[in-house]
Chains A and B, each alone.
Chain A
Amino acid sequence: MSHDMSEDKLPESHGSAGQHEVASHGDPFADPGLPAHEPRRTDIDERAAKRAERQVSLMFVVSMLATVGFIASYVAIDADKIVYIFPLGHVSALNFALGLTLGVALFCIGAGAVHWARTLMSDHELPAERHPIEADDEVRADVIEQFKTGAAESGFGRRKMIRNTLIGSMALVPLSGVVLLRDLGPLPEKKLQHTGWDLATPEHPLPLVNMNTNKPMKAEDIVVGSLTFAKPEGLEEDDETFQQQIAKDALMLVRIAPENIKDKDSAELGFEGILAYSKICTHVGCPISLYEQQTHHALCPCHQSTFDLADGARVIFGPAGHPLPQLKITTNEEGFLVATGDFAEPVGPSFWERS
């Protein structure tokens, strides 16, 4: 096999330039080779080439001007200024000017480069032949011979202890990488198993507080078909850990006419048809509360997991693996809704230790 450029593939071998004829006389399957090179207008007409040069330079100059415009509008335009621009409506003048000038600056560089390449840079076809990647048979045989000699001289096959300890040490080295994963942080321990509701016990029930009014609720406040969000008493928005706490504690309260509740256990956890479900999706933990009061379905907007709140929050569609945890609620002697304990299972998405 020759590594030289085969002469018959070069364009020069196809007769005079500008002729499309290929060497196919007699043999319809003969390699037609490359077509003859066709000069562009800019190749033969110096004025056209000059014009293309000016066009490219113009685009680069426009880009420069646009960049200057970008800086100028950044300095000159007030950030609060709102202007009316026809198809967009009322927009921020600063953002519009910055976007427009930066867009023009980048587009003109790209367009100029493309125009330059297409009109002025050389467009001669250059065949680059492909060759097998493997080495010659001789070279390969030589390398295999050397490898065998080396293996025999090292005694690798004979001294089994060295071989086995080497394999062992090589196998163990990646473990140091695994150990470094410890730096990702401490394990969550029991944090995922419990929420703020675990402060509640049957002896000391924890009142449910309305997220809107920040006040405890009575059972008659929750009407059939309504949706209310609640948090445990004692959790305030000013608390440093509020966001972490509410991500587990958030409740949605719905009231379903008792005859429409399909799941007996779920009805018992509630109070006269008022059911308190975790607001956190059991798939990846989005807050779900797209509640449809006629079908009693709650939908998660992230991945469309759908729960039937009338049937113990059973998953009826989507990727969620568990029903929503339900909180056992009742009323205290003053008639306010209270929880008597934590959720029976961890809220939110699955994790390794989750039972």
Chain B
Amino acid sequence: MKKLSARRRHPLAALVVLLLALAATGGLYAAFAPAEKAQADTAAQSLAIDEGKKLFAVGCSSCHGLNGEGSSDGPSLVGVGSAAVDFQVATGRMPAQQPGAQVPKKKNIYTQHEIDQLAAFVASLGPGPVAPTEKQYTSTNPDDVAAGGELFRTNCAQCHNFAGQGGALTQGKYAPSLEGVEAKHIYEAMQTGPQNMPSFPDTTMPEEQKRQIVAFVRNLNEEPNPGGLTLGSLGPVTEGLFGWIFGLGVLIAVAIWVAAHTTKARKS
């Protein structure tokens, strides 16, 4: 102690005190920082919900109600979760351009940041499927394509066609083509069952199987054509139409052309 008091007038004493003070402050900050960080995160989340609520009031509330409770023009959004918002808004289906049998895909007018805010607000209304992370829908195993193909034929092909080209449903509704649809949106559609599509929750179709189906659909888009015209890969309808109209039509036209150029026809 004597040593310390003896040197308190030392020219470097102030520097030593300053260093000690800095170390103490740093230590205290390190001790309390995680709690402070969590607080900051909650603040960001509630900020996103606030911002999302404002966006919701402008773009969605006329049909879904000011608090997402639903109205005669749109269903309640309580419990639909962030995955449904991300799918519907990012593919431009919502806001709907007009009510009808089916809300078609169109140009998206929101940025991903705004969509996340909207999703945060809707997710705060009630628990529901959460938008997937990239890891959930990105497959790294090449075997997933084959496994996904089997699952696709069992669960999806009846509506979306064996080549994912989509097909007709009842009364103006249709299953859209899966060509060029982002992996994330395919995953979200299976999770949430948008519009008239049934949902395939994780309880009946585990996450891994959804990832395999996504891998198969993405692979379908890259498949080369084995030859000839695919005619939209829609199956017997387009092929029959093509056969009757173009095949037989051309044959009839040729027959008429051959028969029309006879001596007898030249009379008129």
Q: Which residues of B contact A220 (CB under 8 A)?
A: 203
Q: Which residues of A contact B229 (CB under 8 A)?
A: 88
Q: Which residues of B contact A254 (CB under 8 A)?
A: 198
Complex CA distance for A90 and B225, rounded to whole angstroms? 6
Residue B262 CB within 8 A of the other chain: yes
A60 to chain B, nearest CB (A): 18
Complex CA distance for A221 and B199, rounded to whole angstroms? 12
Q: Which residues of B contact A317 (CB under 8 A)?
A: 170
Complex CA distance for A320 and B169, rounded to whole angstroms? 17
Complex CA distance for A225 and B204, rounded to whole angstroms? 12
Residue B193 CB within 8 A of the other chain: yes
Task: Say whether, besides A125-B263, A227-B200, A306-B170, A289 and B158 are in contact (CB < 8 Å).
Answer: yes
Complex CA distance for A96 and B227, rounded to whole angstroms? 6
Q: Which residues of A contact B169 (CB under 8 A)?
A: 290, 292, 299
Residue A112 CB within 8 A of the other chain: no
Residue B7 CB within 8 A of the other chain: no
Contact indicator A229/B154 (Cβ below 8 Å): yes
Residue A38 CB within 8 A of the other chain: yes
Contact with A along B246-268 (1 / 0, CB 8 A): 00000000000010011110110
Residue A222 CB within 8 A of the other chain: yes
Main SS class of interface, A: mixed
Contact indicator B200/A226 (Cβ below 8 Å): yes
Task: Say whether, besides A38-B266, A226-B204, A290-B169, A90 and B199 are in contact (CB < 8 Å).
Answer: no
Contact indicator B204/A210 (Cβ below 8 Å): yes
Contact indicator B227/A227 (Cβ below 8 Å): no
Residues of B that sit less than 8 Å from A by CB: 151, 154-155, 158-159, 167, 169-170, 173, 175, 193, 195-201, 203-206, 209, 224-229, 258, 261-264, 266-267
Residues of A that sit less than 8 Å from B by CB: 20, 35, 37-38, 82, 88-92, 94-96, 99, 114, 118, 123, 125, 210-213, 217-218, 220-223, 225-229, 254, 287-295, 297, 299, 301, 304, 306, 317
